Amino acid sequence: RPRLLSGMQPTSDSLHLGNYIGALANWVELQEQFEAFFFVADLHSITVDYDPAALRRRSHRYIAQYLAAGIDPAKSVLFVQSHIPEHPRLSWVLESITGFGEAGRMTQFKDKSSKEGSDRATVGLFTYPILQAADILIYRPKVVPVGEDQRQHLELTRDLAQRFNKRFGKTFPVPEAHIVKATAKILDLQNPDKKMSGSIGGPGCLWLLDDPKVSAKKIRSAVTDTGREIVFDPENKPGVSNLLTIASVLSKTPIETLVEKFAGAGYGDLKKEVAAAYEEFAGPIAEKANALIADPGTLDDILADGAARAQETTARVLAEVYDRVGFLPPK
Ligand code: ATP
Ligand code: MG
């Protein structure tokens, strides 16, 4: 099976529906075809303002939600980034073949640092895309599922792989982006011109671990569009189209089938249906995740097993890299 790798930063106590539909639900499918590695990117989380206790809690909570959503530790390797020291060790090597100007062209850093102010933006945030390249290359994956926002970082990863290979000999396969389908962008229920976002939260964001009744209410209060017809038209009817996308994913029904079903019905009917589908979907996930969160011993066992399996690869690849760049082998 070809190899695949993906991760998320543990930025909140709960994932939101956008994270689920845009990332996690795809992972669950991909683990069937690929030898998959899924991780919690805790090393990346310390590059911005954060709270250590919250980080520790969230790492457990993210793993619990991966498992509750259907990531199967018998099929996939699940781990926390900080358990695998080869990631930052490879990152150092890659930093040493990255141009300062090249790193400075990363638009995500420019966006984030202009928001934070240049004194608050850390060097860690600046080198983040290089650590991300190391996260990927150390596993020699064939494909990396990424959102549109990560395209530039993956391009850097590919450049660094090629540069390393050219200078030190063929070491890294150049990974391909697996851009997940366009329907994967879930919008904020209150501001359907923006994506649903964890850092914004609020009444337009559905948290997987919230009481599903609270989320159902948010869905019933979602902003819809002018007119009254239920059609899938993301340009002109982003609110209604977003609800149709959500309903389609949660009930595994094609959008056209839903549009036919709601012909002549009102927005209120659609919202009620989406709210019901959401409750049915989120109830069991929240229950499973909360049971796992209450059992950190089991989570830690799964992570220890994942780290051991990950290191079967990372230790070997790093040793090869260290040898190629001219470091003495430790005796
Ligand atoms: P923020 O909005 O603060 O950037 P977030 O928690 O909403 O954070 P990320 O941590 O940036 O999301 O992304 C985690 C994963 O979830 C990524 O794979 C990203 O593409 C996906 N994702 C995030 N938001 C959405 C969304 N609204 N629709 C689809 N996928 C999303
Ligand atoms: Mg984001």
Thinking of the domain 202-291, which architecture would CATH place it in?
A: Orthogonal Bundle (1.10)
For residue 282, the model assigns a pLDDT of 97
For residue 11, the model assigns a pLDDT of 96
- Pocket test residue of 4, 5, 19 for ligand 1, highest count of atoms within 8 A of CB: 19
pLDDT < 70: residue spans in the chain: 116, 180-184
Position of tokens 């109830």?
Answer: 283
Q: Residue 330, SS3?
A: coil
Q: Residue 74, SS3?
A: coil
Q: Which residues contact 73 (CB under 8 A, 6 or more apart)?
A: 67, 302, 305, 306
**Which residue is closest in CA terms to ligand 1's atom 18?**
23
CA 207 to centroid of ligand 2, rounded, Å: 15
Provide φ and ψ at 291, rounded to 5°: -65, -40
**Ligand 1 shell residues, CB under 6 Å:** 8-9, 11, 18-19, 21-23, 147, 184-186, 195-199
**Burial (CB count within 10 angstroms: exposed 0-12, middle 13-18, buried 19+), residue 137:** buried
What is the ipTM for the molecules in this complex? Answer: 0.96
Instruction: Report pTM.
Output: 0.95
For residue 180, the model assigns a pLDDT of 65
For residue 77, the model assigns a pLDDT of 98
When the pLDDT of each residue in the chain is averaged and rounded to a whole number, the result is 94
Task: Say whether 155 counts as a known binding-site residue.
Answer: no
For residue 177, the model assigns a pLDDT of 87
pLDDT tens-digit readout, 197-220: 999 999 999 999 999 999 999 999
Q: Which ligand is nearest to the CA of 198?
A: 1
Q: Which ligand is nearest to the CA of 206?
A: 1
- The CATH 3.40.50.620 domain(s) of the chain lie at 3-184+296-325
pLDDT tens-digit readout, 72-129: 999 999 999 999 999 999 999 999 999 999 999 998 888 888 876 777 789 999 999 9
Number of the ligand 1 atom closest to the C-alpha atom of 145? 18
CA distance 54 to 40: 14
CATH number attached to the domain at 3-184+296-325:
3.40.50.620
CA 320 to centroid of ligand 1, rounded, Å: 34
Q: Which ligand is nearest to the CA of 144?
A: 1
35, β-bridge pairs: 3
For residue 151, the model assigns a pLDDT of 86
What Rg do the C-alpha atoms of the chain give, in angstroms? 21
- The CATH 1.10.240.10 domain(s) of the chain lie at 202-291
Sheet holding 3-8, edge to edge: 77-80, 35-40, 3-8, 143-146, 176-179
